[in-house]
Structure 1
């Protein structure tokens, strides 16, 4: 088995989403798994859980309804996005165990920089002192994953103030820049993506 890690640079959210859907719909048992690294222009995305959805308090950022799990979140420049396009059956993974694997990669990345972080079973993602630094939202189709994780690196966090991030009222966000000057999205993206790859290939 092998997994290809690809750096896409800055990409439009909607076209990347369409590419993920196309890749997933066309894949079969022989398709090689891929992990995409990117970042997006400013956009709010609303997942399939629309319960208690409130329109963002600002109208200068578009809202896109998407097919991942979860509620509303924000993406923008300075935020690392990783999309693992993985056949979960190939690695005998449940959705929950795959989420845990991704969270472990993020917590491990932060730990290597002496930043103490943790995941929460009841609220997927990664937190530093109850402030959220990473969010997860996946879609599984024919046991293959798409969508993925976002990690706040060095970005304008104020658009989060206009929403209840991931559906949690008064949830505060944080970012890597607060703790370190090591904020290269490309190098961090490869470090985390390769850790996810390493974990998968060693299951």
Structure 2
């Protein structure tokens, strides 16, 4: 049994559909000793609708395709300037429950934002993901979305972190099912960070956390 997480950087930008299908196939075919993997991606513009997503949250997709997928959550947008961290983890192997896993992903993003100088990153009760206060008034804007799927104790999909992107397409939807939810990115919050820099931090954070869980599970 290996606790080594393999990191795969996908071509950028890449279409969403083939990556989703590949994640499903990996998860279905992996065995009890298959090492976990993290896939790093930046997608061509696409709206993805969660498994229980409501069509009324898609307001005006224009020429951006809408893909019905099998992750949790409602509709969100992926596009250039956004980092996707797809976590193909065997949660059962390390004794990690779903709620704990969501907290782990959020903790990783909060640590990443703090490391690169984005202030005030936090959770929002009842709304998974990570938010930051924006002027005026310090209202919370979403900077990172989470969407996961667990099959036989194994996860796929993961998190999206907005780095330096055109945020206009978020206006074509109710992001994550919340009407009027404001979105932002790291550049807007004063952090000039590349996808590779953010990816390295998140991969190191998640790899360390999963290794600690593995050590505890086999102790």
Which interval holds the TM-score relative to the shorter structure? Answer: over 0.9
Shift of 1:166: 0.3
* Equivalence for 1:164: 174
Aligned length: 203
* Equivalence for 1:41: 44
Closer/same/farther in 2, CA of residues 24 and 159 from structure 1, 3 Å limit: same
SS at match of 1:156: coil
Q: Cα deviations across residues 27-65 of structure 1 (Å, max 9, x unaligned)?
A: 110111001111100000000122363433132100000
The alignment's C-alpha RMSD in Å is: 1.3
The runs of 5 or more residues in structure 1 that have no matched partner are none
Shift of 1:148: 0.7
Closer/same/farther in 2, CA of residues 42 and 119 from structure 1, 3 Å limit: same
Closer/same/farther in 2, CA of residues 9 and 121 from structure 1, 3 Å limit: farther
Distance 1:29 1:163 in 2: 39
* Equivalence for 2:121: 117
The answer to whether the 8 Å contact 1:7/1:186 transfers is no
* Equivalence for 2:109: 106
Q: Does 1:187 align with 2:161?
A: no
* Equivalence for 1:128: 132
Distance 1:33 1:53 in 2: 36
Residue 20 (structure 1) aligned to one of 19, 23, 32: 23
Q: Compare CA radii of gyration and give the structure with the larger one.
A: 2
SS at match of 2:102: helix
Of 146-155 and 51-60, more deviation after overlay is shown by 51-60
The runs of 5 or more residues in structure 2 that have no matched partner are 134-139, 214-219
Distance 1:105 1:20 in 2: 21
* Equivalence for 2:59: 56
Shift of 1:182: 2.6
Query: TM-score scaled to structure 2, two decimals?
Result: 0.89
Query: TM-score scaled to structure 1, two decimals?
Result: 0.96
